[in-house]
A = this chain, B = another copy of it.
Amino acid sequence: MTLDELRNRLRDFADARDWEQYHTPKNLAMALSGEVGELIALFQWLTPEESAAALDDPKLAAEIHDELADVTLYLVRLADMLGVDLLAAANAKIDRNEHRFPAR
- A residues with a Cβ closer than 8 A to B are 1-3, 6, 9-10, 13, 16-18, 22, 24-27, 29-49, 51-52, 54-55, 64-66, 68-73, 75-76, 78-79, 81-84, 86-94, 97-98, 101, 103-104
Which of A25, A35, A97 neighbours the largest number of chain B CB atoms within 10 Å of its CB?
A: A25
Bound: A88/B6 CA distance, A: 10
User: Are B34 and A88 in touch, CB under 8 angstroms?
Assistant: no
User: Are A68 and B84 in touch, CB under 8 angstroms?
Assistant: yes
Bound: A2/B46 CA distance, A: 32
User: Are A40 and B51 in touch, CB under 8 angstroms?
Assistant: no
User: Are A41 and B37 in touch, CB under 8 angstroms?
Assistant: yes
Q: Would you give the shortest CB distance from A81 to chain B, in whole angstroms?
A: 7
Among B34, B49, B88, point to the contact of A41 (Cβ < 8 A): B34
> Assuming A37-B35, A51-B26, is B89 touching A79 (CB within 8 A)?
no
Bound: A31/B46 CA distance, A: 11
Among B25, B31, B66, point to the contact of A52 (Cβ < 8 A): B25
